[in-house]
Chains A and B, each alone.
Chain A
Amino acid sequence: MSLCLMEGNEAVAWGAVASGCRFFAGYPITPATTIFNTLLKIMPPAGGICMQGEDEIASIGYCLGASMAGLKAMTATSGPGISLYSEQISFAIGSEIPLVIVDVQRLGPSTGSATKGADGDVQFMRWGNSGGLPVIVLAPVDVADCFVLTMHAFNLAEKLRCPVFIASNKEIAMTKESLDFESLERPPVIDRARPGNKDYFPFTVRENSLVPEFLPIGGSRLVRQTSSTHGDEGYITTDFNIISRFQNRLKNKLESEVGSFAFHESFIEEEAKSIIITYGVTARAAKAVYSIRKKEGRPVSLLVLKTLWPVPEKLIRDKTEKANRVFVFEMNMGQYYGEIMRILPDKKVDLFGQMDGRLISPRQIMEAVGNG
C-alpha cells in the first residue's frame, strides 16, 4: 500500500475526472475554490473545459448549457453560492439536466464564516428549488468518500437525468488526509441513455422507464430544452393531465430508486438498545465513540448515512429496528433530526446539534449518549 496526501476537494476533482466529467464552471468561494483550482490544472490539457463564471448564476448556467450539449458537467460552491444557484437548480430538476453540484458547506447563516465548517445546508439543498421536487444529496465522510461519492453522483445524474448534490463540508474538503488513491473503489461509469435510431422527443419516456433518453443540442437530430412546464416535445403545455404525469414522474424517478443508492455504513450491535445516526464529518467522531463503547462492553450501534436525499427510509427503519433510542448528531441546529422523527415515530429520538465552527467531538457524543 502506498499513500498520498490529498484534501477532500482534490478528491472530488479526481472523482469527477474518473467519471468522465468534461466541463466545470465555478465562481471562487472558500471553502470550495480548491475544486476549481484542481480541475483547472487537470481538465484543460486533457481536452476538458474549465471556466470561471462572472457569478454563481452564470457558472451553473454554463454547466446547464454544456450538459445539454452532451458533456458531463460539474459545478462547486458553498452555501452563499447555492442561494444564487437556486433558480437554475429548479431548472435542472424540472428539465432533467444531468449535473453534479458540490456544496462545500461553511458556517452560516449568510456569508457566515468562510473558513469554518458546518452541515447547515442539508434542508436547503433539498428544498432550495421552486416546485419542491426531490433531489439527490450524497454526504461524504472523508477524502475517500469525496472521490467515490462524486463518481456515484455523476452516475446518478446521468442515469436519472437530474442534479445531484455532494454535501461536503469545509472540515472534509480542506482537511488533507492520507489516501490509498490507487485502491479506491471506482464504480463503473454510467452514461446517459441514448435513443439509437428510435423516434425521439426530448421528454418522451419509454415503457418501463421513468427517465427520458438523451440527445445533445448540436447533434444531427433537433433537441428542444425549456424551463417551462412542458410536454414530450419540449413545448410549453397547460394540459393538466400531461403536467400531472410529468410532476409525478419527476418525483417517482428519484424516490422509487433510492433503495438502489442508499449509501451508508452501519455498525449494528445485537445487544445495543441505542443507535447513533449521523452523516458527514461528524460520522468520524461517532465511529470513535462506537469503538470506545464497544471496548467498554456497553455497545451502541451506529448508522452513518451517505445518501441524505431522497431519505433512505427503509434503510433507516431496518437499521434501527432493534434500538429503542436514537441519537442524531449533526453540525447544524437540527435539520435531519426532523426526518428521523418522521420516519421513527415510535422511538425516542434525541438531537445533538452544534453549529459554531467546531467539530462535534467524541467526548461530546459520549456525554450526549450517556448511559443510553
Chain B
Amino acid sequence: MDSLLNTGRPPVFCPGCSHERVVRALDKALSNMKITGDKAVIVSDIGCSGLFDTFFNTHAFHGLHGRALTYAAGIKMAQPALNVIVTMGDGGLGIGGAHLLAACRRNLNLTLLILNNFNFGMTGGQFSVTTPQEAQVGSAFLNRLEKPFDVCSVARSAGAPYVSRCSSYLDDLPYEIEQAIRFEGFSLIDIWGICPGRYTKRNKLTPQMIDDSIAGNEPFTGVITDNLRKEYGQHYREIASGLQKIAPPVGINTEYVPPEAGRREVIILGSAGQRIITSGDILCTAGLTAGLKVTQKNDYNITVLRGPSISEIILSPEDIGFSGTDKPSVIIALAHEGVEKRKYLFGNLDKNTLIIRVKGVDIPDTQATVLDIELKEQGFKNQDWALASLAVMAKLNKTVSFDMLDAAIKHVFKDKILESALNLINKAKVQKA
C-alpha cells in the first residue's frame, strides 16, 4: 500500500535527529498493515514528538503537553474501530505521568510510541524523567539530584499488557511498531533516540551506545503475560449492554390534602447514622402526595459516618423561592451535633414553632413550644428516630398526615425496608407522643 506520509509537509527535525527514523518506520508499519489514513489517528502533544501528526495523511489530534493519552482515550471510546497511535516524548511522559499510569491500568486499545531522547529538546535541553544523572543538560546540576525512571518497568507495574523497548536505529523498527499496533490492548514502545540539537551537543551518545545500553537493561519485548486481560472498551461495552435502562423520573400524583395550610418549614437536627437525609426525603415525598411544592437542603460533614446531619425541608402550596429556612414550623432535635450547628436559630423562635425534642438532647433557651418525646425508651433504635419523629408530627397533624407518610414511604422504599418502615410508623401511631 502507498505511503501515508504527507509529501506537502516533510519532516522538519534537526539534521541527525532520530525522530525522523521513527516517522518513516511508523509509515511503513501502517502501509504493511494496509491501514488507510481514515482508519488511523495520530494523537500527539507538545515537544518534537508533537510534530508527528503533521507528517501523515491520517486523522490528527495535536494537544497539550503530556495530555495526548487523555484525548486518545476519548477518541478510542467514541470510535472503537479507529487505530489510535499516540506519540509522546520523555517530557510528556513526566508531566503526563498520571495519564500513563491510567492508560496502563485501563488497557484501552491504544499504541503509545515514546520518543525517548533523554531531554527536553524544544525548550533548551532541560532534564526529563529519563535523563541520566551523569548527563550534562540544560538544567545545570539539577538532574544530578533526581533519579531517572525506567518507563518500561513502571508501565509493567501499572498493568500494561504490552511493553517493548528498542532503538530508533533498529532495522526492524517498522515490525516492532506493527506488532504494537496489532496488539489488542494498551501497547507501549519505549524508543530510544538521539537529540543532536541539544543532548549530544554536550553528551556522547551513539546508536551503538543505545544498543549496548538497551542490552544491559532488563529486556522488554512485548506481551507481559501477567497483565493480559480484556481490552477496556470491549469490556465496557460488554458490561454496559447488560445493564438495565433507567426510565426518566415519573411524577407523583396528588392524593391527599395537607393537614395545615401555607408554607411550612421543618428542620431535622441530628447526627450521622440517624437517617436524617432519608427522612427529609420522605417528608418531601409526603408533600408531593398532597400536591405541595417542596425543597430539601441538607448539611452534613464530609466524613459521613460521624458529626452533624441536618435536613431543612420546605413544603408549600405556592412556588418556593428562597430555599433557606428562617421561620421553622417544626424543629426536630435528635442529636446534640445537629443542635450545636444550628444553635443560633433557637433564640429567635416564638411559640409558633414546635420543637420536638428527643429526651436527653439539650437545646438553647427558646420561646418556642417544646415537646419532649421518648424514643429509646419506647424501643426505637437510634437510626429510626428521624422517621419516628415524622410519625409524631403526623400524630399532631403538623405539616404531614399519616396517609401522606405511608404513601411517601411506599414511593421511597422497597421490599423489606418498606415493610419495616411501615411497621415503624404504625408503632409510632399507637404509642403516646
- A residues contacting B by CB (< 8 A) are 1-6, 14, 22-23, 25, 30, 41-42, 44-47, 49, 51, 53-55, 57-58, 60-71, 73, 87-88, 91, 114-115, 171, 174-178, 180-182, 216-228, 234-236, 281, 284-285, 287-288, 291, 358-359, 361-363
Task: Assess whether A58 is in contact with B61, with CB atoms less than 8 Å apart.
Answer: no
A58-B102 CB under 8 A given contacts A45-B240, A178-B293: yes
Main secondary structure of the interface of B (DSSP, over half): mixed
| With contact pairs A62-B77, A226-B62, A363-B326 given, residues A4 and B299 touching in the complex (Cβ less than 8 Å) | no
Q: How far is the CA of A236 from the CA of B248 in the complex (A)?
A: 46
The reply on B75 being an interface residue by CB < 8 A is yes
CB proximity of A194 to chain B, nearest CB, Å? 16
Could you show 18 A-B contacts with beta carbons less than 8 Å apart?
A3-B251, A3-B293, A5-B281, A5-B294, A14-B248, A44-B236, A54-B98, A57-B99, A65-B78, A71-B78, A175-B295, A176-B281, A177-B295, A178-B294, A222-B38, A225-B62, A361-B322, A361-B326
B101 contacts the other chain (Cβ, under 8 Å)? yes
Across-interface contacts of B82 in A (CB, < 8 A)? 69, 217-218
B239 / chain A contacts, CB cutoff of 8 Å: 44
The A interface is mostly helix, strand or loop, or mixed, namely mixed
Whether B70 and A58, one on each chain, are in contact in the complex, defined by CB atoms closer than 8 angstroms, is: yes
Query: Which residue from A5, A63, A234 sits with its C-beta under 8 Å from B296?
Result: A5
Chain A residue, CB-CB nearest to B82: A218
Q: Does the CB pair B102–A44 fall under 8 Å?
A: no
State A338–B339 Cα separation when bound (angstroms): 40
Q: Chain A contacts of B284 at CB under 8 A?
A: 5, 176, 178
Instruction: With both chains docked as a complex, state the minimum distance between the C-beta of B350 and any C-beta of chain A, in angstroms.
Output: 16
Q: For the complex, what is the distance from the CA of A67 to the CA of B246, rounded to whole Å?
A: 24
Beyond A3-B288, A4-B250, A69-B79, whether A45 also contacts B67 by CB under 8 A is: no
Contact: A4 with B302, CB < 8 Å?
Answer: no
Task: Please tell me if the beta carbons of B74 and A25 are within 8 angstroms of each other in the complex.
Answer: yes
Q: How far is the CB of B18 from chain A (nearest CB, A)?
A: 23
Query: Do the beta carbons of A115 and B254 come within 8 Å of each other?
Result: no
Query: What number of residue pairs across chains A and B have CB atoms under 8 A from each other?
Result: 234
Query: Are A218 and B78 interface neighbours, CB within 8 A?
Result: yes
Does B20 have its Cβ within 8 Å of any Cβ on chain A? Answer: no
Question: CB distance B75 to A177 under 8 Å?
Answer: no
Nearest neighbor of A363 in chain B, beta-carbon distance: B326
Instruction: Look across to chain B and name the residue whose beta carbon is closest to the beta carbon of A183.
Output: B251
A78 to B: closest C-beta gap in Å? 13
Q: How large is the interface on B (under 10, 10 to 19, 20 to 34, 35 or more residues)?
A: 35 or more
Known: A23-B74, A216-B79. A281 touches B288 (CB 8 A): no
A178→B292 contact, CB < 8 A: yes
Q: A62 is contacted by which of B53, B74, B254 (Cβ under 8 Å)?
A: B74
A39 to B433, CA, bound (A): 43
Given known pairs A3-B288, A4-B250, A45-B244, the reply for A220 and B38 (CB within 8 Å) is yes
Q: How far is the CB of B220 from chain A (nearest CB, A)?
A: 23
> Given contacts A66-B78, A178-B293, A178-B294, is CB(A45)–CB(B323) below 8 Å?
no
Q: Which of A62, A176, A285 contacts B70 (CB 8 A)?
A: A62
The answer for the CA separation of A222 and B252 in the assembled complex, in Å, is: 51
CB contacts (< 8 Å) of B246 on chain A: these are: 41-42, 45-46
Residues of chain B within 8 A (CB-CB) of A57 are 67, 70, 98-99
Most buried by A among B37, B102, B249: B249
**Contact yes or no, B79 A51, CB < 8 A:** no
A34 to chain B, nearest CB (A): 12
> Taking the complex as formed, is B324 at the interface, i.e. its CB lies under 8 A from any CB of chain A?
yes
Q: Is the CB of B323 within 8 A of A175?
A: yes
> Does A284 lie within 8 Å of B72, measured CB to CB?
no
| Identity of the chain A residue whose Cβ is nearest the Cβ of B239 in the assembled complex | A44
* Known contacts A23-B74, A63-B74; 9 further A-B pairs (Cβ under 8 A): A41-B246, A60-B70, A65-B70, A69-B75, A217-B59, A217-B75, A218-B75, A223-B59, A226-B53
Q: Are A14 and B38 in contact, CB atoms less than 8 angstroms apart?
A: no
| Bound CA span A108–B253, Å | 41
Closest B residue to A11 by CB, please name it: B249
Closest 5 CB pairs of A and B: A61-B70, A65-B74, A2-B251, A218-B79, A69-B78
**With the chains together, A111 CA to B364 CA distance in Å?**
33
Contacts of B296 in A (CB 8 A): 5, 175-177
The 0/1 profile, CB within 8 Å of A marked 1, for residues 230-269 of chain B is 0000001001110111101111111000000000000000
- Could you tell me the distance between the alpha carbons of A314 and B302 in the complex, rounded to whole angstroms? 43
* Known contacts A3-B252, A58-B99: A68-B61 contact under CB 8 Å: yes
B-side contacts of A46, CB under 8 Å = 245-246
The reply to whether A171 and B297 contact each other, CB–CB distance below 8 Å, is: yes
Asked whether B349 is an interface residue with its Cβ less than 8 Å from the other chain, the reply is no
Q: In whole angstroms, how far apart are the Cα atoms of A4 and B284 in the complex?
A: 10
* Contact of B64 (CB < 8 Å), options: A220, A224, A227: A227
Q: Which residues from B are CB-within-8-Å of A235?
A: 9, 54
Which parts of B16-60 form the interface with A (CB within 8 Å)? 37-38, 41, 43, 53-54, 57-60
- In the assembled complex, the CB of A330 is this many whole angstroms from the nearest CB of chain B, namely 15
Q: How far is the CA of A189 from the CA of B244 in the complex (A)?
A: 26
B421 → A minimal CB distance (Å): 17
A359 lies within 8 A of B59 (CB):
no
